[in-house]
Structure 1
Amino acid sequence: MTEKKTLLLVDGSSYLYRAFHAMPDLRAVPGDPNSPATGAIRGMINMMQALRREVRADYAACVFDAPGKTFRDDWYPEYKAHRAPMPDDLRAQIAPIHQVVRLLGWPVLCVPDVEADDVIGTLARTAAGQAIEVIVSSGDKDLSQLVDEHVTIIDTMSGKRRDVAGVTAEFGVPPSLMVDYQTLVGDAVDNVPGVDKVGPKTAAKWLTQYGSLDALIAHAADIKGQAGENLRRALEWLPQGRRLVTIRTDCDLAGHVEGLPALEAIAIQPLQTEELKAFYEQYGFKSLAKSLEAHAAAPELLGHGGAQTGEGGTGLLDGTLAAAAERASNLVYDTVLDWTAFDAWMDKLQAAELVAIDTETSSLDEMKAEIVGISFSVTPGEAAYVPLAHDYPDAPEQLPRDEVLARMKPWLEDASCHKLGQHIKYDRHVFANHGIEVQGYVHDTMLQSYVLEVHKPHGLASLAERHTGRSGIDYEDLCGKGAHQIPFSQVAIDKAAEYSCEDSDQTLDVHRVLWPQLQADERLKFVYELEIASSETLYRIERNGVMIDAGALAAQSHELGQRIVALEQQAYEIAGQPFNLGSPKQIGDIFFNKLGLPVVKKTPSGAPSTDEEVLEKLAEDYPLPAKILEHRGLSKLKSTYTDKLAQMALPRTGRVHTHYAQAVAVTGRLSSNDPNLQNIPVRTTEGRRIREAFVAPEGRVIASADYSQIELRIMAHISGDEALLRAFNEGIDVHRATAAEVFGSTPEQVSSEQRRYAKVINFGLIYGMSSFGLARNLGIDNTAAKSYIDRYFARYPGVKNYMDETRASAKEKGYVETVFGRRLYLPEIRSPNGPRRGAAERAAINAPMQGTAADLIKLSMNAVQKALDDQGLGTKMVMQVHDELVFEVPEAEVDWVRAEVPRIMAGVAELKVPLLAEIGFGPNWEKAH
């Protein structure tokens, strides 16, 4: 029998964006920001070489989008209208990427006026028509419409495979219905509207019920509810939408590669070794150039090698292709099912300088999760998994969990036994749920990435891919997803062992790449050590939790409910009829058809918009939009906080335990969720009343300590402006001092209105506020606002110099820094798009202040926790919100906390102006202010 041939098609446009965002900011000359960027080129080489090794093919092509418009732009001028322009650093790497892909043996296709998807579709159908197997490598779900018995899509980044069964399982419809599915759902990325408010589940349900889009359209009158209304409103658009989302499979490709459409024209080619070596040397890829010498002996290994220090620390640790391949084929992953094996591994852990450890659990909720298994790795390529609670039928007998944890507890709680993890705070909680307080966590790969490359993803899969060239098993491939996802305890032990061992092994691998980079930069190392210490303190805060007064919340919910009903009645009276205050269609009809309100802006489909921005603008002049906004605000408070907070209390503690995410905000600030403590509105009476429900138990009080005018003080320090420094060092009211400067009077003559103006100016300029923004904020005209800003800069020239120098420095480096060395990257700072560049420039001015404030509150949090521990006090830190620390204080310790906490917070850093922290006490959070 003749062996089937295979065509491998690569979605080059998808690949190059992934390469750009996944790799560090590499340069041809390391450390020189003016040298050509090479990160995307290096990432593309890694990905193309890995794919060539993993998928054997007779024919292949790497397909890129050509610059300029396509035929779809002629059909629909708004097509892709909202897509951000390609970053300059990526655009500059396109030509060399095309060049190196050809040198790596791949035919390259880039067809004018035709999108890459259509080229791929045409080639796939041509090959499938000749019974040739087609594999498309892409993460783009839109290509799923091409899948059939001959065409399969693989996503090498996630490990996802989309064959006919895979597409059906993922989207709820077979590939033959994917065009209809995409038409209904729309494509926000390409600015192709679908049916309003119809998501994947509704689309799949309709198509399953009716069999096709045409049949659904024929029965549109039968569809009930808002979804049916939206479908009927979209009927005229749907043919155009279907036309736009349909991948063409009949493009004329003749002439773009000599010999096409015959597939022999795109037979995969050998590497052009000499040209490749010159290319690698030109772009500073020393290790890749060196690796070409091994090609003659082992050509299939080429391209998986690592970078030397000069290439940004990416790549495999041993720096050679042969060693990398040898390690990949010699992984030793043990499954520990008896005490002999367990004791042998415990001996290894005791003797190791550093152990990577990972838990597999029953829940993502760290306060509820129980251990299902534990893995650890002490040597790259070697790991072990101890299954403890797998409970599927015929599961092998496992060691008893309680006894295993009891034997491990001394080692886990020994601070001299150094441990490493990925997101160690979660694992601390999991062990604590079993009565173990882990000590000795000295490294966290998630936090290493967060400090080194805050603008990149920090998940282990992404870290392993871009820093070690390794991919791994996806959790959803192991457990499924959605309603069909099984708990980890039901995963077969052999598969669970491979997955968990891989996590520990890859964590150790990633650490060995990232830690030397942190060690090489004292300022970044300081920030990393701050994050590690903060992880420990945040674990304590989360574990403590805070008491909630359920009765107070219930009373507030009842009152809010009554006010919400009253607002509905008032809105009905203004409108002259009842209507659904949550329906944009009904609101639009009343606003623009009945009441004749002005149209502020339109939706992509051309209808008058009633979004939040429009409501706020109209509320300035009309009562109905104001009532709707008030109704929405109260409804959100009720549903998000007063109805839910008490339900979120953990039964075993009776407290709410928020989760603090460290590696999310690019400024270094923490984010809080379940519940989100940072979004409680404090400028409204209703929001402040919610804070009254955060209480202390009997015999204790709540204390709230925060920094006074912290970002203005940081501005004074960073800018060195003499007038600002003098105001803070002499203890003058800085807003009154600013008003005196701007309005040309003495501080004593400043009115309360002038002080308010000055306060808006002070804080507005920190956030890059323009004269237009200031005018809108103060309710004055643009000329007056510009005059105030000009006078401000004339009186505070150091601030103006800081802003100008920061913009220039950010554009040169691509990032700004906090006082302590945290780097805050600004990808759009060189954007040709004016609004995007302007936003990045405003962020460049503000980010050092926000980031420094974040660093200061973390330093304070850690220092205060250390003092509480050193004194053996019963005071607990229970929340960290913005620039504020919240405590639960025994009444006997109030005096100590009142005196010491502000002193400690003020002393964590020495700036050019004094830091000032203030503290208050009360029976609840609100009263403590």
Structure 2
Amino acid sequence: MTQQGASPTKRKRLVVIDGKSVFYRGYYAMPGLSTKDGTPTGGVYGFAVMALEVVKRLQPDYVCVAWDKPKTNIRRRLELYPAYKAGRKPAPKDFYDQIPLLHELLEAFNWPLYEFDDYEADDIMGTLAVQATAQDIETILITSDMDMLQLIDLHVSVYALKKGLSNIELYQPESFTEKYGLLPQQFLDLKALKGDSSDNIPGVPGIGEKGAIELLKEHHTLDGVYENLDLIKETMRKKLEAGKDSAYLSKKIAAIWTDAPLKLELDKLEVSACEPQDIRDVLEKLEFRNLARQLPEFMHVDAVVEAKQATKQLKPGKLVTIDDNKDLEKVSIPKSKQLIIQSVCSDDRDRVPEQITLGFDDQTLVLDLTKLKGDLVKNFLNSCFMAHSGVIGYDLKATFRSLIALGVNLPAVQHDVLIGSFIINSLRREQSLSELAAADLGIHLDEGMSTPADQVAVIRGLYKEQAAELKKIPSLLKLATDIEWQIIPVLADMEQTGILLDTHYLSLMAAQVEDMISDLEQQIYGFADQEFNISSPAQLAEILFTKLKLPTEGIKKGKTGYSTAATELDKLRDKHQIIDMITQYREVTKLKSTYIDSLPKLVDKNSKLHTNFALTVAQTGRLSSNDPNLQNIPVRTELGKRIRTAFVAAEGNTLVSADYSQFELRLAAVLADDKEMIDAFNRGIDIHTLTAAQVYGRDPEEVTKNMRRDAKVVNFGIMYGLSTHGLVAATGMGYDQAKTFIDKYFQTRPKLKAYIETVKEQAKEDGYVENLLGRRRPTPDVKSSNFMVREGAMRAAVNMPFQGSAADIMKKAMIDIQAKLQGTKAKMLLQIHDSVLVECPEDDAKEIAQLLKDTMEAAYKLPVELTVETDIGKNWGEI
């Protein structure tokens, strides 16, 4: 925020904050921010940042907050214009859930919040500004609502939030005129002419800002424009004549009303009346610890300090850039408690490393790889790593890919601040380094870290914070040490290795699939008796429900008509042949665009695809593949199998897959301590046949394929919160039959039912659930007042121990596999949830398959035996 110069008359200063506007910006600037128990705090954090900035930079004598009272604040304007602000979507529920926390913060600051029926926040701010001017008090309005510019004068300034919380523009009379070429008192007439789409204020149709400004420069006011219509060009004149009523109505709607029912009582707004300790207590409660630590500076500041100086609190070391081999030869490796490393790569598919940053205690070295040549860099880095026990960084997996490309021996991981943040609170979305710095260190820079030394300082600060947090929860520290840190080099190696893609095969397949799509289109047009855009939901709905008159009972209906989503079309499957054709058309066109056409464009110069395995997406800890996603290629469809056929082994090599059998179901038996299930698995009994026999009351040899199928659906579905409706949809059972089936299932599996109830209770009481290895998933939404949100959160909570345990055991298996593959010519290429794909020489395939089976089955000691199935083939489609 730019400092405003001191007033020459040294008037007292009032700051009025548009509360909802600032809160809204904070909410969307920090969307994933929450406390450890999952309570969302992004909006409150954004407001807290702005509040402290206000005190620090503007040094006000008085502060208060204006707020839009829900629903009733715009009643008077709606009477004038019923379409006012029409179309605005309500904010998400967790936006409103944070407002009580904001009230706590405001109470600590001793800042009153004003809200009234029939008055918007800008009306309240205008009223306060007028009253303050009458008392010769300078007023600063903080808002993102540009309507406030009409209040600017020698006493009133506006700080306008342009984007996020850091891009702020100061408006005073001079700067307003410089921007618009008008005087502030002309701004309301400008709005009257051009309108405002954000508030649905119509203005004069066909006149934009540029035209409106020219009119006001020439004729000064709205009245002046209409008094001189005969002097205005015909095209513009006709627009003005047609829109006269709209212009004057718009002016009335956009005008700020300064008669809100409040009196400016300065003694109640004094900044000096707050107790800093009260503010600190609230910040600590909200887990804004770094803001709390900086509070003395904010509350007792004597001079303006630029935001960038915040990084100096972390003491960035001396920055040295090495871009000449001779200079690198002279560098001696500094002694350092911690070694921090970052890298920069090219943006192309080959991901060529361009820069390596090394952060030592007192200095930061930047190696410019575009200029340094030969093995000198590799040898230097290897020496650095040998001199330190491990490295710390942000997204070390990306850095390790660079090290692999350079031929460097990978160091041990001491800590990764991206993954550490996610382990501590998995509700956080994957965040950039600058976002983590703002959230956890209270460092706010307009354009992120300006130098590598700043980045190193921030990473070091985040490491200290996270290390302290992890020590408080030993199970999470063990998870980080044993699993998350060790899987990083494994994934980096897999990503850097990539998998060979037969692009010629896919190009031939693309032509064949295009013919298939054309055939499907002709069949669909034949059933519809006309051509139309099959991909258009509106046109498809018109064909299905108007022309073909398919039944609409039970079909969801939105504002634009009946839904044609897959779930709705499935209800019509037996009503008309066109439904199957449309379903097939959608599947084929999606696979063509997502894989057949796209994958060849993503290969490197060696025809290899390099996916990215994300560790911070799935809250269960499951790996997620992206750019491209190779985990979602269909397994069971013929077209999916043909796409997989394009993934091949190099000449002389073959592919080996290893897949855990009934992985999560075996873990369910362990988690529930269901001795019968454990014994059945260990004796090799088919668990689905056993379940069907128990539920249907038959001998195992009497169980039919359909009975076993139903049991299989429930066995796996229960871990995902399968409901009666879900079983009906999956099997075609009647509702009563499905309900009876689930009831009988739990009668035969009382231990599993009891365990699920325990998980639900933990989700509600502790605010989190955890898996076998100690990973936690916060569960704040299980207490939501919204039924759908609450039920969805409870299903996710129940699933987490099953899927999360499987995910982390799979990571442990991958770590073990990587260690055992050392010294062989085999390379791990992909992980697809419960399976891995390895490439090796053809002659070694059987040996590698056995190695995978033995290693994965022994990855984690459990009372139930883990079973792994392996397969071998020249391409992925064969296995």
Q: Does 1:455 align with 2:427?
A: yes
Per the TM alignment, residue 69 of structure 1 is displaced from its structure 2 partner at its CA by 5.5
- Structure 2 counterpart of 1:515, which letter? A
1:745 match: 698
> Are residue 414 (structure 1) and residue 399 (structure 2) matched?
no
Which has more radius of gyration?
Answer: 2
Query: Contact 2:612–2:625 at 8 Å: present in 1 too?
Result: yes
Partner of 1:85: 93
Q: Once the 2 structures are TM-superposed, how far is the Cα of residue 742 of structure 1 from its aligned partner?
A: 0.5
Q: How does 1:460-859 map to 2 (within 5 A)?
A: 460-474=433-447, 498-529=450-481, 530-599=483-552, 605-651=559-605, 653-859=606-812
Query: For residues 501 and 484 of structure 2, what CA distance do their matches in structure 1 show?
Result: 29
Give the whole-Å Cα distance in 1 for the aligned partners of 2:732 and 2:747.
23
Do the aligned partners of 2:658 and 2:852 also contact (CA within 8 Å) in 1? yes
CA offset at residue 368 of structure 1? Answer: 1.9
1:334 aligned residue: 319
Relative to structure 1, is the Cα distance of residues 810 and 351 closer, same or farther in structure 2, using a 3 angstrom cutoff?
A: same
What residue number does 2:343 align with? 359
Q: Deviations over 1:803-835 (max 9, x none)?
A: 111111101111110100001122311101111
In structure 2, give the amino acid aligned to 1:386.
V
For the residues of structure 1 that align with 2:290 and 2:433, how far apart are their CA atoms? Answer: 25
Q: For residues 284 and 319 of structure 2, what CA distance do their matches in structure 1 show?
A: 44
8 Å CA contact retained: 1:10, 1:136: yes
3-state SS of paired residue (1:675) = coil
**2:43 & 2:741 partners in 1: Cα distance?**
45
In structure 1, what is the Cα distance between the partners aligned to 2:471 and 2:424? Answer: 11
One-letter identity of the residue aligned with 1:898? A
| 2:829 partner amino acid | V
CA distance in 2 between partners of 1:351 and 1:540 (Å): 29
Q: Give the Cα–Cα distance (whole angstroms) in 2 for the partners of residues 650 and 717 of structure 1.
A: 44
Give the distance between the partners of 2:693 and 2:69, measured in 1 at CA: 59
In structure 2, relative to structure 1, the CA distance for the partners of 1:46 and 1:436 (3 Å cut) is: same
Whole-angstrom CA distance in 1 between matches of 2:705 and 2:792: 32
Q: Describe the superposition over 1:866-925 as per-residue Cα deviations: whole angstroms up to 9, x where unpaired.
A: 0111xx110111111111100112122122212221111011112221111110011111
How far, CA to CA, are the matches of 2:290 and 2:489 in structure 1? 40
Q: Secondary structure at the match of 2:572?
A: helix
**Counterpart code for 2:300:** P
Counterpart in the other structure of 2:872: 921
CA shift digits 1:161-191 (9 cap, x unpaired): 467999x99xxxx9989998984xx89xxxx
Call closer, same or farther: CA 1:896–1:416 in 2, change over 3 Å: farther
Q: Output the amino acid matched with 2:19.
A: D
- Indicate conservation of the 8 Å contact 1:560/1:634, yes or no: yes
Do the aligned residues in 1 keep the contact of 2:781 with 2:793 (CA within 8 Å)?
yes
1:79 deviation in Å?
Answer: 6.6
The residue aligned with 1:388 is 368
TM-score by length of 2: 0.80
Q: Tell me if structure 1 keeps the 8 A contact 2:194–2:209.
A: no
- How far apart, in 2, do the equivalents of 1:727 and 1:455 lie? 37
Aligned to 1:9: 17
Per-residue deviation, 1:564: 0.4
Are residue 52 (structure 1) and residue 55 (structure 2) matched? yes
Rounded to whole Å, the distance in 2 between the matches of 1:698 and 1:740 is: 49
Question: Which residue of structure 2 lines up, in the alignment, with residue 312 of structure 1?
Answer: none
State how far apart, in whole Å, the 2-side matches of 1:416 and 1:540 are. 21
The CA deviation at 1:712 is: 0.6
Aligned to 2:228: none
In the superposition, relative to structure 1, how do residues 917 and 93 fare at CA in structure 2: closer, same or farther (>3 Å)? same
Describe the superposition over 1:460-484 as per-residue Cα deviations: whole angstroms up to 9, x where unpaired: 2222222221123425xxxxxxxxx
Distance 2:108 2:528 in 1: 65
After TM superposition, the structure 1 = structure 2 runs for residues 12-91 of structure 1, keeping only pairs within 5 Å, are 12=20, 13-14=23-24, 17=27, 25=35, 45=48, 48-57=51-60, 60-66=63-69, 70-71=73-74, 83-86=91-94, 90=98
Q: Distance in 1 between matches of 2:592 and 2:421?
A: 38
Aligned length: 803
CA distance in 1, matches of 2:836, 2:594: 23
User: Aligned partners of 2:50, 2:787: CA distance in 1, in Å?
Assistant: 33
Cα 1:860–1:279 shift into 2, 3 Å: closer
Contact 2:318-2:364 at 8 Å conserved across structures = yes
Deviations 1:59-82 (A, max 9, x none): 643344545655379958997776
Amino acid in the other structure paired with 1:565: S
Q: Offset at 1:644?
A: 2.2
Distance 1:505 1:178 in 2: 51
Counterpart of 1:357 in structure 2: which amino acid? I
Q: Which runs of structure 2 are paired with 1:892-907 in the superposition (5 Å)?
A: 892-907=843-858
Q: Is the 8 A contact 1:7 1:127 kept in 2?
A: no
1:428 CA displacement? 1.9
Query: What is the aligned counterpart of 1:885 among 826, 833, 836?
Result: 836
Offset at residue 754 of structure 1 (A)? 0.4
After superposition, the Cα gap between the structure-2 partners of 1:432 and 1:571, relative to the gap in structure 1 and judged at 3 Å, is same
**CA shift for structure 1 position 51:** 4.0
- Map 1:343-382; keep pairs closer than 5 Å: 346-347=331-332, 350-363=334-347, 367-371=350-354, 373-379=355-361
CA offset at residue 525 of structure 1?
A: 1.3
Q: Structure 2 CA distance, aligned partners of 1:211 and 1:587?
A: 43
Q: 1:18 to 1:687 in 2, by over 3 A?
A: closer
Correspondence 1:98 to 2:106: yes
Alpha-carbon distance, 1:272 to partner:
2.1
1-structure distance, mates of 2:60, 2:511: 67
| Inter-partner Cα distance in structure 1 for 2:381 and 2:789 | 52
- Cα contact 1:412–1:436 (8 A) shared by 2: no
Secondary structure of the residue aligned to 1:447 is: helix
CA contact (8 A) 1:464 1:470 kept: yes
Query: Residues 722 and 688 from structure 1, CA distance in 2 versus in 1: closer, same or farther, beyond 3 angstroms?
Result: same
RMSD: 4.7
Query: Gaps (5+ residues) in structure 1?
Result: 28-32, 195-204, 213-238, 305-323, 391-398, 476-495
Letter in 1 for 2:601: Q
SS at match of 1:153: strand
* Rounded Cα–Cα distance in structure 2 between residues aligned with 1:178 and 1:750: 77
- Between the aligned partners of 2:297 and 2:158, the Cα distance in structure 1 is 32
Specify whether residues 880 and 645 from structure 1 end up closer, same or farther in structure 2 by C-alpha distance, changes over 3 A only. same
Instruction: Give the AA of the match of 1:719.
Output: A
C-alpha displacement of 1:708: 0.3
Check conservation: 2:15, 2:140, Cα contact below 8 A.
yes
Question: Cα distance 1:325–1:676, how it changes in 2: closer, same or farther (>3 A)?
Answer: closer
CA distance in 2 between counterparts of 1:538 and 1:745 reads 47
Rounded to whole Å, the distance in 1 between the matches of 2:193 and 2:584 is 41
Amino acid at match of 2:670: H
Structure 1 residue aligned with 2:142: 136
* Alpha-carbon offset, residue 844 of structure 1: 1.1
Give, in angstroms, the shift of residue 722 of structure 1. 3.1
The 2-side partners of 1:717 and 1:786 are apart by: 26
Give 2:351's aligned amino acid.
K
Structure 2 Cα separation of the partners of residues 326 and 561 of structure 1: 56
Aligned mates of 2:388, 2:192 — CA distance in 1: 57
C-alpha distance 250-925 of structure 1, shift in aligned 2 (>3 A): same
Shift of 1:385: 5.9
